[in-house]
């Protein structure tokens, strides 16, 4: 027997019992006559005591043990004279009479503490040491709990979890596929799924009615900071539903998850159209934990001879409450430069300070009278002491730039209350985006998304311009400015699906080769259906108020798509290549 109890469970009521514990040496302290060892396992830390006078050999053995040694100790639970109220086991300690080293440890490459001295790369290479640290361990336990609660809720709501295949077919649309050469089908490849989209629709055609899956998906993209080549989705689909059925079900799921993991009661989620979100926040995933709504200034600023505004499609600003005094000329210059970086690309940044002493200071003071500028104050609902920032230019770009500024203001001025959660449904997305470069439409959500019912006829019969105005029956769940998930009502009619592929630039042959099975299925009694997918890694991070998904993934890959611990990917044997009828062509790329 390795243990009678774990290291987190002993309390004052266990005093006098003989117990056996196993775990890792977290820390040891030698006070001459007494040696204390903190023994750690997943469940907690318990103090072991060795008395030099009573058991000399044992105490000397204990003094030689290093950090992260694996120990088994047997002894009697006794009350501590010096209790530790910060530790659940802090009332007791173990007077050890038998000690065994189960395994030794070399000196850890970084400290196994909540705040570690290990850098990102070292932590990933020795991930098995990193996961011993509380923050990472707790994240993984949280993730496990979140997935179980998701499954319980969806199962209680009649959803069936169905595993869809991982070895599927490559479809060049969208992001790049990871492909898998088939040995048994020479020259052919499987692809790893970017999502189970077509399979879950097929399951609806198959009459499964309510499907879900917590499922790995794969995208071979150039990895940005917080992307992973493999990621996890809560993937769902429902039959005989309208949008509101889906929103209610998954609002229910989200509330359940917040309640069962954080004990947070979320209020009903507001809904906002894509157009409204863009107008008020310049983003389709607005962070509602703080205000600073966009204020349209076209009518207030145009026609007064300031050509920058006069020539602009849009003049728009935000008001930062009480911060007029926080911005010196130098600060403004720095912020302007930040806005002018290529990542944001603003041409300039106009400010107006409504100072606490009622004076007004603005970078465009010479183009507008003080009365005119004072007039804008009402548009902003600004008060003395506030500062206003104004951008101008082409409508879409300018809104996006101002969105960046709004987010930066919230960060800089610490406007976000920790533990605050603001969920939002964004609805009524455009169906199609016109892409000038490729001279064709792209699906804003994906090619299976249905237009809103009232737009269906226009979609089937409209001209090119009409297509730009079609609305999709699509929706995103946004929490605290993060897109948690999205979905749509799907097309379930072959003619409409065919028309959509047409608009998206598929030839009849391409559409048939890639999605013929789905269009075929639509001819055998496909029910109306729709669904949603939540990014599970992101959901974990947002619930914990963390920006990065990486520490919610046990073994994440770095920005080059490498697993630093196992050192993958790696070359494979020549024999494997031959079996797969493949040859490396390393020069072709250069």
Residues 234-253 that bind its own copies (CB under 8 A): 240-242
Any contact of residue 185 with its own copies (CB under 8 A)?
A: yes
Q: Site for its own copies (CB under 8 A): which residue of 29, 83, 137, 304?
A: 137
135 binds its own copies (CB under 8 A): no
Kindly tell me which of 212 and 354 has the beta carbon lying closer to its own copies: 212
Q: Check if the beta carbon of residue 274 is closer than 8 Å to that of residue 467.
A: no
By CB under 8 A, residue 57 contacts its own copies: no
Which residues make beta-bridge pairs with 179? 191
Q: Does 3 bind its own copies (CB under 8 A)?
A: yes
Q: Which of 15, 76, 223, 262 binds its own copies (CB under 8 A)?
A: 223
Task: Yes or no: say if 243 and 475 are a contact pair by the CB < 8 Å rule.
Answer: yes
Using rule CB under 8 A, residue 563 touches its own copies: yes
Of the pair 40, 406, the CB lying nearest its own copies is at 40
Q: Which of residues 350-379 bind its own copies (CB under 8 A)?
A: none
Q: Binding residues for its own copies, how many (CB under 8 A)?
A: 127
Q: Interacting stretch for its own copies, rule CB under 8 A, among 151-159, 315-323, 445-453, 483-491?
A: 151-159
List 16, 187, 342, 419, residue binding its own copies (CB under 8 A): 187
Cβ at position 487, least distance to its own copies in Å:
17
Q: Say which residues have a Cβ less than 8 Å from residue 267's Cβ, sequence separation at least 6.
A: none
| Residue 89 to residue 23: CA distance in whole angstroms | 15
Interface residue with its own copies among 16, 32, 85, 207 (CB under 8 A) is: 207
Of the two residues 106 and 417, which places its CB atom closer to its own copies in the complex? 106
Handedness of CA 568, 574, 577, 583 (dihedral sign): positive
Span interacting with its own copies, options 179-187, 284-292, 315-323, 457-465, rule CB under 8 A: 179-187
- Using CB under 8 A, pick the residue from 199, 250, 294, 441 that binds its own copies: 199
Site for its own copies in 415-454 (CB under 8 A): none
Distance CA 44, CA 11 (A): 12
Contact 501, 171 (CB under 8 A): no
CB of 112 to its own copies, least distance (A): 9
In whole angstroms, how far apart are CA 233 and each of 150, 236, 533? 11, 9, 6
DSSP code per residue over 339-391 = HHSTTT--S--EEEEE-TTS-EEETTTTTS-HHHHHHHHHHHT--TTEEEEEE
CB nearer to its own copies: pick between 223 and 344: 223
Site for its own copies contains 151 (CB under 8 A): yes
- Residue 40 contacts residue 23 (beta carbons within 8 Å): yes
Q: How far apart are the first and last CA of the chain?
A: 61
Binding to its own copies by residue 569, rule CB under 8 A? Answer: yes
Interaction between residue 24 and its own copies (CB under 8 A)? yes
Report how far residue 428's alpha carbon sits from residue 431's, in angstroms, rounded to the nearest whole number: 9
Considering the complex, state which of residue 82 and residue 158 has its C-beta at the smaller distance from its own copies: 158
Residue from 286, 204, 307, 255 nearest 476 by CA: 286
């Amino acid at each position: 027997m390795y243990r009678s109890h774990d290291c987190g469970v002993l309390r004052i009521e266990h005093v006098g019992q003989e117990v056996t514990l196993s775990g890792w040496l977290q820390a040891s302290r030698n006070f001459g006559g007494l040696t204390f060892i903190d023994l750690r396992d997943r469940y907690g830390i318990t103090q072991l005591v060795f008395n030099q006078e009573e058991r000399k050999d044992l105490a000397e053995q204990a003094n030689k043990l290093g950090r992260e040694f694996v120990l088994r100790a047997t002894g009697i639970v006794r009350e501590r004279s010096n209790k530790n109220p910060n530790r659940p086991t802090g009332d007791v300690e173990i007077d050890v009479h038998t000690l065994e080293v189960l395994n030794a440890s070399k000196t850890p490459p970084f400290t196994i503490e909540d705040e570690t001295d290990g850098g990102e790369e070292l932590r990933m290479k020795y991930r098995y040491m990193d996961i011993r640290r509380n923050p990472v361990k707790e994240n993984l336990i949280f993730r496990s709990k979140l997935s179980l609660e998701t499954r319980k809720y969806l199962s209680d709501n009649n959803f069936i979890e169905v595993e869809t295949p991982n070895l599927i077919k490559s479809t060049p649309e969208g992001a790049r596929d990871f492909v898998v050469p088939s040995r048994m089908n020479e020259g052919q490849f499987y692809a790893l799924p970017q999502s189970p989209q077509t399979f879950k629709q097929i399951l609806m055609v198959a009459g499964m009615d309510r499907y879900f899956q917590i499922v790995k998906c794969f995208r071979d993209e150039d990895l940005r900071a917080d992307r992973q080549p493999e990621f996890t989705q809560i993937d769902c689909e429902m039959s005989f539903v309208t949008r509101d059925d889906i929103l209610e079900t998954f609002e229910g799921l989200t509330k359940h998850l917040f309640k069962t993991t954080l004990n947070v009661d979320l209020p009903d989620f507001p809904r906002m159209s894509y157009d409204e979100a863009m107008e008020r926040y310049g983003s389709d995933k607005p962070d509602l934990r703080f205000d600073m709504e966009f204020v349209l200034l076209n009518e207030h600023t145009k026609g007064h001879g300031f050509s920058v505004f006069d020539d602009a499609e849009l003049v728009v600003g935000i008001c930062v409450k009480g911060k007029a005094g926080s911005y010196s000329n130098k600060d403004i210059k720095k912020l302007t430069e930040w806005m002018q970086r290529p990542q944001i690309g603003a041409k300039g940044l106009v400010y107006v300070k409504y100072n606490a002493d009622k004076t007004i200071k603005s970078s465009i003071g010479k183009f507008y009278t003080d009365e005119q500028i004072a007039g804008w104050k009402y548009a902003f609902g600004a008060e003395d002491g506030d500062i206003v920032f104004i951008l101008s230019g082409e409508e879409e770009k300018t809104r996006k730039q101002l969105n960046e500024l709004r987010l930066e203001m919230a960060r800089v001025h610490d406007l976000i209350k920790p533990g605050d959660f603001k969920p939002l449904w964004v609805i009524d997305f455009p169906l199609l985006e016109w892409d000038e470069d490729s001279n064709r439409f792209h699906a804003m959500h994906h090619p299976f998304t249905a237009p809103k019912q009232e737009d269906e006829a226009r979609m089937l019969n409209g001209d090119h311009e009409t297509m730009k105005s079609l609305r999709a029956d699509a929706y995103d769940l946004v929490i605290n400015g993060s897109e948690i998930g999205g979905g749509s009502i799907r097309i379930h009619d072959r003619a409409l699906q065919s028309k959509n592929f047409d608009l998206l630039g598929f030839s009849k042959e391409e559409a048939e080769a890639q999605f013929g099975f789905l269009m075929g299925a639509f001819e055998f009694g496909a029910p109306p259906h729709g669904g949603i997918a939540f990014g599970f890694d992101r959901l974990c991070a947002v619930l914990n108020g963390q920006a990065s998904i990486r520490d919610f993934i046990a073994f994440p890959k770095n920005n080059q798509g490498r697993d630093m611990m196992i050192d993958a990917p790696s070359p494979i044997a020549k024999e494997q290549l031959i079996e797969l009828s493949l040859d490396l062509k390393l020069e072709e790329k250069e």
